C-alpha cells in the first residue's frame, strides 16, 4: 500500500461469501512494531451488510472514519450467482523479461470493476514447479447466466509499453471451462471450476446472493 496506490491487496477468500443477513466485515489495521506487542492500531471497523433486495448485481462503496484513519470499503453484490474457482498454468514459453504483470477477473454485468487475482511489480511471475501460477486470489462470484472474463496485462518496466490478453467463459452450475492466454511467447491455460452456492431454505429455486 502506497500513496500512489492506497488499495490493500487482499488474499482469498477461498470460497464465495454467501449473504445471509447480516454479513459482518471486521477490519483491523496495525502499524507493525519490532514485536507483536509493539504493534500500534491504525484503523478498526466492524461493518454489517444486509441484503438490499436488488434484482441486479451492483458495486458500492462505504467510507468509514475511525479515530486515526478513514477507510473506503468496496463491495460487489452478485445476485443469482455461482462460484468460479480460477487457476492459471504456464503451458509454453516464459514470462517476458522486464515486464510486470497483473491478472484480473471481471463479470459481464460489472465489467468496469476488476478483481485482482495476482499483481507483481517486477518481472518475476510466481510459478510452481508444475507451471501453476500462484494466484493471491482464485475465487470469484459470477451470475449464473453471466460471463467471466479472465485477463492479463503485462507492462514494460522501462518504456511502459503494454501487452494484454483475455479469455471469456460462460458461467455454468458445474463442470469446468478453459481458455487460453498468450503474452509474447508465454502461453497460459486458464481453468475455471464451477460450483453452486447454497440456496435459500424457503426458496429452493433461488440461490443466495454472494459478495
Does residue 8 have a pLDDT over 80?
no
pLDDT, residue 61, reads: 83
pTM score of the predicted model: 0.79
pLDDT, residue 91, reads: 98
Does residue 17 have a pLDDT over 80?
no
Among candidate residues 88, 152, 96, 165, the one with its CA nearest the CA of residue 124: 96
Q: Is 141 exposed, middle or buried (0-12, 13-18, 19+ CB in 10 A)?
A: buried
User: Which residue ranges form the domains of the chain, and what is each CATH number?
Assistant: 23-77 (no CATH), 81-195 (2.60.40.150)
> Model confidence over 39-57: pLDDT tens digits?
888 888 888 887 777 778 8
Rg (the chain; Cα; Å):
19
Amino acid at each position: 500500500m502506497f500513496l500512489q496506490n492506497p488499495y490493500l491487496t487482499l488474499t482469498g477468500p477461498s470460497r464465495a461469501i454467501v449473504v445471509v443477513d447480516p454479513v459482518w466485515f471486521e477490519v483491523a489495521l496495525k502499524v507493525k512494531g519490532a514485536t507483536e506487542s509493539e504493534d500500534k492500531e491504525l484503523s478498526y471497523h466492524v461493518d454489517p451488510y444486509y441484503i438490499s433486495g436488488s434484482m441486479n448485481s451492483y458495486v458500492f462503496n462505504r467510507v468509514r472514519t475511525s479515530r486515526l484513519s478513514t477507510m473506503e470499503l468496496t463491495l460487489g453484490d452478485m445476485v443469482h450467482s455461482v462460484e468460479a474457482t480460477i487457476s492459471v498454468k504456464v503451458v509454453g514459453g516464459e514470462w517476458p523479461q522486464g515486464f510486470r504483470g497483473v491478472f484480473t477477473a471481471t463479470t459481464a454485468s460489472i465489467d468496469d470493476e476488476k478483481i485482482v487475482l495476482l499483481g507483481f511489480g517486477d518481472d518475476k511471475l510466481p510459478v510452481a514447479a508444475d507451471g501453476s501460477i500462484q494466484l493471491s486470489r482464485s475465487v470469484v462470484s459470477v451470475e449464473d447466466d453471466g460471463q467471466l472474463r479472465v485477463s492479463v496485462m503485462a507492462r514494460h518496466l522501462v518504456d511502459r509499453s503494454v501487452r494484454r490478453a483475455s479469455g471469456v467463459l460462460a458461467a455454468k452450475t458445474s463442470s469446468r471451462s478453459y481458455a487460453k492466454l498468450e503474452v509474447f511467447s508465454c502461453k497460459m491455460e486458464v481453468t475455471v471450476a464451477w460450483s453452486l452456492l447454497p440456496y435459500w431454505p424457503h426458496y429452493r429455486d433461488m440461490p443466495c446472493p454472494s459478495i
